[in-house]
Amino acid sequence: MNQRLTQLISAYRAAAAREALPVEGETIAVNDLVRRAASVYEVIRNTLEYSEAHLLRRNAIRRILRRRLSDDLMPERVAKELLQELIWARYLPNKAIPVVREREAAAVLQKYVPLFEAAEANPDSKRLSSWLFDLLSTELEYLLVPPRREEALVSFAYGTLKTHVDWSEKLELSEEEKDLQLFIGVHRTLLKSNQATLRFRIFHLFYPTWSKGDGALVTEIAEHLSVVHQAVERELFHAMGEPVARMLRRKMVLFKVLHDILTKDAEAFGELAGNPSALEEAVKKAAKSRYGVFRARLMRLVLRAVVFLFFTKLVLAFIIELPYEVFVLKESNYVPLLVNIIFHPVLLVILGLTGTIPEKKNTELLVEGVTGMISGPSTSLGMDGTKGFELKVRVKKPWAQGTAGFLFNLLYALTFLFSYGLIIVLLLTFHFNALSILLFLLFLSLVMFLGITIRRSKRELVIVPGKSGIFMAIGDFFTLPVIRAGRWISMRAPRINIFLFFLDFIVEAPFKMAIQIIEGWLAFMKEKKEEIDVER
């Protein structure tokens, strides 16, 4: 085993040993009855939020901070209430978080007070404040639930892949830029980190001593907040960010399988690595488990999307389509109404759940790749360098240039008109009115894009190269304009979820206040009961 792998194993063993230690000192405890009520609310809210499961806790931290810090800049009190709410919502375990964590969270909050004050004084205060909430919520999550294994895995993957990346000289990137973009790409594809997490990681790379809370450093960043913000955003949205992520994506499953094996038993990994047949069996089991987890997650993802879509369509049908028919057209045609309610959720189910994983071939390649990382020469999937692969980062020449580009764009525009025109003609035969057609096409585009996005999520597990054929090419010819239209709409439409807006700004604050009052009352009653026992 090489030095990087040895360090990775040590990190996993240290993480397991730390987790096995008993919690010392007083812990934070909340009432179990109150906790059940708060967790039910959180489940309902998360059903309406289209986010990956691993992002929900950080999103909750950010949401709580925005609500609490809007009228209270006392770090100690905000930290205490933050941890209390996270335990209520089951993002943190009850009676397992030491009270000292409140002081540590308050210290983190205190660092950001000068930064928020600097942001408020800036003309671009809204953007800077939102950016700071991303940093703060991520740093607090790292404090409360340190991702020791995950960060060690990122370092291992980054170090392993760095020697295999061939950067084109035409890119004119410095070595620092290459290293940073590779690190961001690994973080994005291996841990599926969102922009908030990546912002904090980039910021922490720029200021590695930030976690120590040095007052001089805090003052320096506050004085140059706009410059720091621009530097982080420049790297986050670098032109090479997406090409690097695409290049890395198919390799990440190898590291994820290695992570699963190490997490299961890091202590026995050394013995396992020296036994090829046992290692192969471990990889197969880890791959099989990954497939099962992926299918379950895919089912939940599709179900949540379908439920949200169905209720959205139902609301639109009754507040827009039906009144339009009754009061404007003076007629009622229930066929378009029912089609607009039912068709798109059904289409989303079909698109989301019909993708398959070539498990046998994929598992064989995973065995070869992981074995190559651990124990020596392998196929082109290996990581040892003997027969290693090469990841190439090149400047792609755009097709849409000159005469050929004009002709391609013209053909694409005609394809777009043909696809939508054919759908409109079909809808007119079922007596759809103009509004019904508009809503049908709008949601068709969005559902096609969302469905294909969900379907393609299997790529995080599949190392087998994709296949293409004549039928797929014909399908792409007709559906690509619709999918790209859906992507365009989703990127530019106002990102306001009216259901979440209602919950976050109308329901959540009074609900959490009621929960707090109830918990206080229950604690008071418990204290009175204990007094009775003492008097006896």
Q: What is the pLDDT of residues 462-498, one digit of tens each?
A: 888 766 667 777 777 778 888 888 888 876 654 555 5
Question: 125-144 and 100-120 are packed helices; what angle lies between their axes, rounded to 10 degrees?
Answer: 170
Q: What angle do CA 91, 229, 227 make, to 5 degrees?
A: 155
Average pLDDT over residues 104-108: 97
- Per residue in 255-299, pLDDT (tens digit) is 999 999 999 999 999 888 889 899 999 999 999 999 999 898 888
| Alpha carbons 83 and 28: distance in angstroms, whole number | 8
Query: Side chain identity at 249, as an amino acid letter?
Result: R
What pLDDT, on a 0 to 100 scale, did the predictor assign at position 139? 98
- Give residue limits of the domains in the chain: 3-249+497-505, 266-492
Structure tokens at 482: 């619709």
| Alpha carbons 388 and 377: distance in angstroms, whole number | 8
Report DSSP state, residue 24: P
Q: Which of 226-230, 259-263, 329-333, 418-422 has the lowest mean pLDDT?
A: 329-333
Structure tokens at 503: 């919950």
Burial code (b: 16+ CB inside 10 Å, e: under 16) for 348-370 equals bbebbbebebeeeebbbbbbbbb
Tell which phi-psi region holds residue 385, choosing left (phi > 0), alpha (psi between -120 and 50) or beta.
Answer: left
What pLDDT, on a 0 to 100 scale, did the predictor assign at position 292? 93
Q: Is the pLDDT of residue 381 over 50?
A: no
DSSP string, 351-398: HHH-----HHHHHHHHHHHHHHHHHS--STT-SSSSS---EEE-PPPP
What pLDDT, on a 0 to 100 scale, did the predictor assign at position 315? 84
Average pLDDT over residues 342-366: 89
Asked if 370 and 283 touch (Cβ cutoff 8 Å), the reply is yes
Q: Which helix (H) or strand (E) holds 510?
A: helix 508-535
Task: For residue 119, count other CB atoms closer than 10 A to its CB.
Answer: 23
- Per residue in 399-423, pLDDT (tens digit) is 556 677 778 788 888 888 999 999 9
Residue 115 exposure: Cα atoms within 13 Å on the Cβ side: 28
Total residue length of the chain: 536
- Give the phi and the psi of residue 392 in degrees, each rounded to 5: -105, 130
Cα 59 to chain centroid, rounded = 10
Most confident of 8-22, 299-313, 371-385: 8-22
Three-state SS letters, 313-357:
HHHHHHHHHHHHHHHHHCCCCHHHHHHHHHHHHHHHHHHHHCCCC
DSSP H helix total and E strand total for the chain: 23, 2
CA distances from 430 to 4, 334, 336, 436 (A): 64, 11, 7, 11
What pLDDT, on a 0 to 100 scale, did the predictor assign at position 72? 62
Asked if 450 and 442 touch (Cβ cutoff 8 Å), the reply is no
| Alpha carbons 326 and 442: distance in angstroms, whole number | 22
Report DSSP state, residue 166: E
